[in-house]
Structure 1
Amino acid sequence: MRKVIAAINMTLDGYCDHTEGIADDEIHQHYTELLRHSGAVLYGRITYQLMESYWPNVVKNPTGNKTMDEFAVAMENIPKVAFSHTLKNVEWANATLAKRSIEEEVAVLKQQPGKDILVGSRSLIITLMNSNLVDEFQLCVHPIIAGKGLPLFANINDRIMLRLIKTKTFSAGVVAFYYELHR
Structure 2
Amino acid sequence: MTEQWGAIAAVIAAVAAIAGVLLELRTTTDQAHVEHEQWLRDQRQEAYLKYADASDTAWGEFKHLVELRLAYSEDHIDDPGVESEKAFLERLDREARQAWERVSKPYEGVLLVGPPELNEVASSSRDRLSELRALAVGDASVDMYQAVEAQAKSSRDDFLVAARSVLWTAPKRPRSLRWWRRGS
- Give the TM-score category using the shorter length: under 0.3
Answer 1 or 2: higher relative contact order, Cα 8 Å, separation at least 6.
1
Q: Which has the larger radius of gyration?
A: 2
What TM-score do you get using the length of structure 1 for normalisation?
A: 0.22
What TM-score do you get using the length of structure 2 for normalisation?
A: 0.22
* Structure with more helix by fraction: 2
* Structure with more strand by fraction: 1
